[in-house]
Each structure stands twice: as structure tokens, then as C-alpha cells.
Amino acid sequence: MEEGKIPLLGEKFPEMEVQTTHGKIKLPDYYKGKWFILFSHPADFTPVCTTEFVAFQLRYNKFKEMNTELIGLSIDQVFSHIKWTEWIKENIKVNEEPVEIKFPIIADDTGKVAGKLGLIHPSKGTNTVRAVFIVDPEATIRAILYYPQELGRNMDEILRMVKGLQTSDKHDVAVPANWPNNEIVGSNVIIPPASSEMEAKERLERAKTGEIECFDWWLCHKKVEG
């Protein structure tokens, strides 16, 4: 992969050893057999980033229930990450409970990791952009999100994306807009379009039996479990 180039969907996550608040970790091997989300933030001790880390931590158990781990990153040293997460625990409470950041954070003070993943904003000095990489158990990059510094991320959308990708893989289907609350098919998923006239006719016959539902031969949907 070219240095400074944003990885492409479908590429393997690049191999690297990183220093984190949980010690040295080799990526992507450390998460072998699991999904993981690597997300970068501009800097420690900044307001929007603090709200994001709290939001990620509050949903950490939901991610883990989907066999998904979290790992943060910024161009800060380990001691900065540690002091920042200590500050969050001491000063931020949700439902009267202190927020303790339990996932690792990469200390990329040399900028090597950010450079390898194309995370340096060209007009923001050395700050990393707000990026999200969703990586599957085969170490394949399945989704990438990039946000400007002034806009915090929506963690529920990232949860939805992981669930949607896992559902797509499990059932060989596509996932509609706003799923699982789509305006026309609800929580159903989309069956891939027919690839022949015969398959199109068979699909409409299946719809007559109630096995699937179709608006037309090219727009069919069904309910799936899990």
C-alpha cells in the first residue's frame, strides 16, 4: 500500500506493530477471528474527541456482543492517552457512574501509523482526521468513514454498520437504507437481483407462496433472524 494513501475497501488491513495504552499490539493479528474498529481522533484533551470516547465506551459492550473490538488512535504519546482517560474517569459521569475507557488507544507520536493509513489532514498540520475503519475477522477492510474535525461521529450508525455487514455476510443479502427501520421494507433485508429471466420468474413464484415479498422481480425482500 502506498504511504499516505487511504486504503481501499476490500484490501487487507496493513500489518503493523503499534504501541498502545494496553502495551504493544500487532495488527491485524491481535484481533484474529474478530471484527475490529480502528478509529482516529485529532488530539487528546479536546472537547469533541472526549464526547466521542465516552460515546464509544458506553456502547463497548454492544460492540463486544457482536464479536467486535475497538481501538483508538491519535498522534499523541502514551502518557497523554493515559492522563486523558484518567481525566475522563475522574470528571465524566453518565447516570452517576464514572466512565472508564477500557479499549486500547494507539500512541502514534511518530505519525507512522497515520501515514500508513492516510489519516493526516492536509490542511490541519499533524492532526489526524476523524476516521473509522471497520475490519472483518479475515482482516479485510469492509467500511471506511471520514469526518471533518468539527463534526463528531454517530456511534449508533457505526453499530448499525457492523450489524448490517454481519447480517449481509451471514445471509447473503443486502441491507436497505435506515435498516432496520427502512421506510418501505421495515426490518427486512434485500434479496440480490435475479441474474436471469428464469430466476426472475422463480422469484415471483416464491413471492406468491409468501416465502419472500416482492414489489417486482428486481426488488424483493425477506425477514431474517439474527
pLDDT: is 147 or 65 the higher one? 65
pLDDT of 122 reads 64
- Return the CATH superfamily for domain 16-153: Glutaredoxin (3.40.30.10)
> What pLDDT shows up at residue 115?
86
Beta-strand runs (E) in the chain: 16-20, 23-27, 35-40, 68-74, 93-94, 97-98, 105-107, 130-135, 141-147, 189-191, 213-216, 219-222
Q: Residue for cell digits 435498516?
A: 179
Q: What are 148-164's pLDDT values in tens digits?
A: 888 999 999 999 999 99
Q: What percent of the chain has pLDDT above 90? A: 79
pTM of the model: 0.93
Average pLDDT over residues 14-32: 96
What are the structural domain ranges in the chain? 16-153, 172-226
Cβ neighbours of residue 170 closer than 8 Å, sequence gap 6 or more: 224, 226
CATH architecture of 172-226: 2-Layer Sandwich (3.30)
Catalytic residue among 27, 37, 49, 175: 49
Q: Of the candidates 57, 73, 72, 69, which has an alpha carbon nearest to the alpha carbon of residue 136?
A: 69
Q: Does the annotation mark 214 as catalytic?
A: no
- Highest mean pLDDT among 50-59, 123-132, 211-220 belongs to 50-59
For residues 121-133, one letter each, b for 16 or more C-beta atoms within 10 angstroms of the residue's C-beta and e for the rest, the string is beeeeebbbbbbb
The Cα–Cα gap between 17 and 132 comes to 19
**C-alpha distance from residue 32 to each of 35, 62, 70, 167 (Å):** 8, 19, 13, 20
